[in-house]
Each structure stands twice: as C-alpha cells, then as structure tokens.
Amino acid sequence: MKKLIIVGCGGFARELYWHAQDSLGYLETWELKGFLDGDVRLPEAEYEKLELPVVGDIASYEIQPDDVFVCAVGTPAVRKKMSEALRARGGKFFTLIHKTAIVHGTAQIGEGTILCPRVSIHDHAVIGKDVLFNGNSGAGHDVTVGDHSCFMGGCSLCGYAQIGRETYWGDGACALPHSRVDDGAFVGARSVVFKHVRKGQKVFGNPAMPI
C-alpha cells in the first residue's frame, strides 16, 4: 500500500486532504500518511487546522520506499521548486484524480497532476506533470498544458488551446479555441484569452489585456 504525503500545509493542502479521500484508489492501493512542510514556516494556527500530522519538511524528510507525493501549492514557481526538490532526492509523485473527474481515454495526464472534483479532460488533450486543475475546470479536445501550471476553480480551456509551463489561471479564466499562452504567464480571474499571451505577461479582462 502506497503512503500519500501532501506537500504543503496551507489552505489548499487542507482542501486536498478531503478531496483525496474521494479519489481513485483510496484505501485500495494507497492511503494518506500526512503533510510535508515547505521551506517557509506558516503561522502556528495553520498547523492546528490539519487533520493529519506534519511528517517533516522538504529538506530533511527521509523518503521511504512506499512514499508518494502530491504537491498542494497553487503558485506555479513554488510548486515547481518544491516538487523538483523532492524528485532530486528520489521522491515519486502521484497523479491524484477525483472520482467525479472525467478523463477521456485518449487524454494524457502527467505524473503528479491533480484533478479536483468535476474536472473534465477531453479527447487527445495532453497535460504535463504537476499540473493543478481545481474544481469545475476543464481542458477541451487537443489542448496542451505545460508542466506546473495551475488552474483555479471554473477555468475553461477550449479546443486546441496551447498553454505553456508554469502558467497561473485565476478563477473562471478562459482560453478560446486555438489561443496560446506562453510560459510563466498570469491570467487573471474571469479573463478571456482570445489569441496570444506572451511569456511572463500578466493579463486581465475580456478580452484579456496586459497590465
């Protein structure tokens, strides 16, 4: 039986604790072990809210053979830093898929990706590693998404949209068909991408415009 450790101790880590218990394979092939702290100590009140123990931190935790990890951090750069630090020490990441998520048979989902409740990944979509899709989000047919990108609740990626690595999408943001968003871009909540967002740009609005 694999032991799943949630990387992070903040608010989303607590949400993920509950989602995990309704995800594929829970108590059949894996079980929850605890939380792993990052390199920044949170206020003590945050730790008191956790339902499982903090088993250590990223730098010093001794990885066990049956450990698998999932990163509960919604900031792409931090998500990448934490997950890659564990991989460098031999950590294995787990793809967490909620039972209400829909994944088409031709879709590809990378290692360490999280699909929260009611996420839909459609025909021939290709999702990279360590991607986060929060609840009610989805990727349409032939969408590509790069590693470590984070989509908050209710995001929609329409057919053939091309999304780079380490992008961040606020609640309800949308990419229209054939649009492109380059690495490290930030798409604000409720924004609609019509054509192209360049590398590292921060955009808001409908249509999404740089700020």
Q: Is residue 203 pLDDT above 90, yes or no?
A: yes
Q: What is the pLDDT of residues 147-199, one digit of tens each?
A: 999 999 999 999 999 999 999 999 999 999 999 999 999 999 999 999 999 99
* pLDDT at residue number 41: 87
The answer to whether 147 and 127 have CB atoms below 8 angstroms apart is: no
Sign of CA dihedral 74, 99, 113, 84: positive
Q: Give the C-alpha separation, 57 to 63, whole Å.
A: 11
pLDDT tens for residues 63-119? 999 999 999 999 999 999 999 999 999 999 999 999 999 999 999 999 999 999 999
Backbone region of residue 6 per phi and psi (left: phi > 0; alpha: psi in -120 to 50; beta: other values): beta
Buried b / exposed e over 28-47, threshold 16 CB at 10 Å, is: eebebbbbbbbeeeeeeeee
User: Is 182 in contact with 197 (CB distance < 8 Å)?
Assistant: yes
What integer pLDDT is reported at residue 40 of this predicted model? Answer: 82
Domains and CATH numbers, the chain: 2-94 (3.40.50.20), 97-206 (2.160.10.10)
The pLDDT tens digits of the residues spanning 9-64 come to 999 999 999 999 999 999 999 999 999 998 888 999 999 999 999 999 999 999 99
